Structure 1
Amino acid sequence: MMKQACLPALAGLLMAWAAQAAPFVWPQGQQAAVSLGYDDGLHSQLDHVVAALNQRGLRASFYVPINAPTLPGRMNEWKAAAAAGHELGNHSLFHACSARGAGREWVAPHRDLDQLLPAQLQEQVIAANTWLQALDGRTRRTFTPPCLDLKASGQNYVEALKPHFVAFRTAPAALVTDTATLDPYAVPVYFVDGLSGAQLIALVEQAASAHALVALIFHGVGAEHLSVTREAHDALLDHLSRHKTRFWTDSFVNIMELARQQAGR
């Protein structure tokens, strides 16, 4: 009797697990969702990337800190990018990062996360949302912590920001393969600086094989820091454009709203 009584409960658990681990269903049956993210609000992104995306009918996310070098003189171009369907993502007010470790000599003392309180960063990130809303009129967006650093003065500062965002890009490189592996506030990202066109295409093809979500972080394109060449970047865009029946390339906020709906989160 006990064995028979346990069977329905076991079946229920298996059904719940199967539902939780369901594969994603992308809008037109595509094999993968591709999020192209461009950090730091750089000139090369306005000089080349926005037009390259628009020409191919692709949408992306631009994470623009409010102290970005392009905002004072090229604000209207960012407004136009948003009007074309691209997301202006939150990348904080002042791009504060931890100064610890090799290669962080560029971090100014007054923007060192190890010298700032979590409340200071939280206030700045929320203020950045208001600035971005003034540019694009939108209230829903995503957040990428600068340098993917999550702590200020040794304490996590991003956790309290969840109610203000659809999703965060914060986790080490990986594919999100099904609804069970989705954490909207720890979406993994690939830093792609220095990769060739063939390597970039291989990444999205890997995602297609796994029916996964893949998020890429670009910075400079053909110029500036952490760059890829224009040729490599455009080879990826050409591949995504030629295979729109296989790849859904959209803003991170649009992808994550659908992914969260399917995951029930």
Structure 2
Amino acid sequence: MHASRICLALCLASLALPLAAKQKFTWPEGRKAAVSLAYDDALDSQLDNAVPALQKHGLKGTFYIVPARESVRTRMEEWRAVARMGHELGNHSIIHPCSAHGPGREFVPPHQDLDRLSVAQMKEQVEVADVFLQALDGYTGPRTYTAPCGDRNASDGDYIKAVADRFAGIKMVGGDVVPDMHALDPAAVPAAVPTEVTGKQLIALVEQAGRKGTMVGFTFHGVGGDYLSVSKEAHEELLAFLAANRDKYWTTTFLEQMQWVRKQQEVQGNKKGR
């Protein structure tokens, strides 16, 4: 009887070990959560307001460049300087195709309508955008991607599936705080798109991620200008909080975060995507 009890205890312990290991997801230097500061569409207000704020607080962000935008053509050397500062330049396609269907999509012109483009055309756009970014910053490794408007369906299927293998991570609009790092698909990382919010509201999401031990991704557009904007004051309040709590929250490029996430998932047997 005694031997049977010992055997049963050992069996139960062996079953519990994988579960315990799965529950342990760690961030560098024991931090509570990761915070991604991303900026879409290569807007003037990002160069004018967001970059100086990041530099002031010693934080790294990720800028998703659209090569066809006027602000890229006219301020290319400034974008090169952003990369030299240590910020990430991410892929956001060449012309920013979105579905023109649905409420609020009147801004999408016919030639940028994702519903009219094929998976092959989108795959080529993404590949050419990578070449452009390499010419801009000289980086030859894997990058990250944000799907324009969070849309993934081209005229003949899901183009994200066709390009996922080339990226360390892909942001998809929708959601905010990652609920479970073990279940996270690197090719479908949720991203909040804050507009007209306060700094306190942004900080609340960071603290929520800290309680969960996961991550939160902010995808900003205009900062104190342009469109889908947040005020300079709200942005500054968030950055000041992150700088004052850098021992608790890991704020770095999305690429660096996703490389860490993939390694953790591989160790724990939860590898997805690439």
User: Counterpart of 2:49 in structure 1: which amino acid?
Assistant: H
Matched residue, 1:90: 91
Is contact 2:34-2:250 (8 Å) kept?
yes
CA-CA distance at 1:51 after TM superposition: 1.2
**Equivalent residues of 1:82, 1:136 under 8 A apart:** yes
Deviation at 1:263, TM superposition (A): 1.0
Q: Distance in 2 between matches of 1:67 and 1:216?
A: 23
Does residue 69 of structure 1 match 2:70?
A: yes
8 Å contact kept, 2:61–2:253: yes
**Partner of 1:184: helix, strand, or coil?**
coil
Go from structure 1 to structure 2 and tell me whether the alpha carbon gap of 1:171 and 1:220 turns closer, same or farther (over 3 Å shift).
closer
Deviation at residue 148 of structure 1 after TM alignment: 0.6
Q: 1:114 to 1:246 in 2, by over 3 A?
A: same
Does 2:218 align with 1:216?
yes
| Partner Cα distance (1:66, 1:256) in 2 | 24
Which amino acid letter does the alignment assign opposite residue 61 of structure 1? T
Q: Structure 1, unaligned stretches of length 5 or more?
A: none
Matched, 1:236 2:238: yes
Q: Distance in 2 between matches of 1:21 and 1:159?
A: 28
CA distance in structure 1 between the partners assigned to 2:173 and 2:42 by the alignment: 21
Q: How far off is 1:178 after superposition?
A: 4.4
* Per-residue Cα deviation, 1:197-235 (whole angstroms, up to 9, x for no partner): 110111111111222111011000111110000001101
What's the TM-score once normalised by structure 1's chain length? 0.93
The correspondence of residues 147-186 of structure 1 with structure 2, limited to 5 A, is 147-170=149-172, 172-186=174-188
Residue 19 of structure 1 is matched in structure 2 by 21
Aligned match of 2:53? 52
User: Secondary structure at 1:167's aligned position in 2?
Assistant: strand
How much does 1:71 deviate? 1.0
Opposite residue 64 of structure 1, the aligned amino acid is I
Change (3 A) 1:69 1:21: farther
Deviations 1:94-128 (A, max 9, x none): 00000001110111111111111110000110110
Aligned residues: 262
Tell me the residue number matched to 2:227.
Answer: 225
**What secondary structure, in the 3-state scheme, does the structure 2 residue paired with 1:163 have?**
helix
Q: Secondary structure at the match of 1:125?
A: helix
Structure 2 partner of 1:124: 125
Distance apart, 1:158 and its partner CA: 0.8
Task: Kindly report which structure 2 residues correspond to 1:175-214, keeping only aligned pairs within 5 A, or say none.
Answer: 175-214=177-216
1:26 and 1:32 in contact (8 A); partners too: yes
Q: Secondary structure at the match of 1:70?
A: helix
Q: Which moved more, 1:253-262 or 1:6-15?
A: 6-15
Deviation at 1:32, TM superposition (A): 1.3
Deviation at 1:246, TM superposition (A): 1.1
| Contact 2:173–2:192 (Cα < 8 Å) also in 1 | no
Call closer, same or farther: CA 1:21–1:181 in 2, change over 3 Å. Answer: farther
Query: Aligned pair 1:99/2:100, yes or no?
Result: yes
Identity of aligned residues (%): 45
Supply the RMSD in Å over aligned alpha carbons. 1.9
- The answer for the alignment partner of 1:81 in structure 2 is 82
Match of 1:93, as an amino acid?
I
- Call closer, same or farther: CA 1:9–1:143 in 2, change over 3 Å: farther
